[in-house]
Amino acid sequence: QQQVKQSPQSLIVQKGGISIINCAYENTAFDYFPWYQQFPGKGPALLIAIRPDVSEKKEGRFTISFNKSAKQFSLHIMDSQPGDSATYFCAASMETSYDKVIFGPGTSLSVIP
Is position 103 an interface residue for other proteins (rule: CB under 8 A)? yes
Is position 91 an interface residue for other proteins (rule: CB under 8 A)? yes
Applying CB under 8 A, the span of 43-51, 52-60, 66-74, 77-85 interacting with other proteins comes to: 43-51
User: Based on CB atoms, which residue is closest to other proteins, 12 or 17?
Assistant: 12
Percent of the chain as helix, strand, coil, to the nearest 5 = 5, 60, 40
Q: What is the x/- site pattern for other proteins, positions 44-83, by CB under 8 A?
A: xxx-------------------------------------
Q: Which SS3 state, helix, strand or coil, does residue 82 take?
A: helix
Rg (CA), the chain: 13
Distance, in Å, from the CA atom of 21 to the CA atom of 111, rounded to the nearest integer, reads: 14
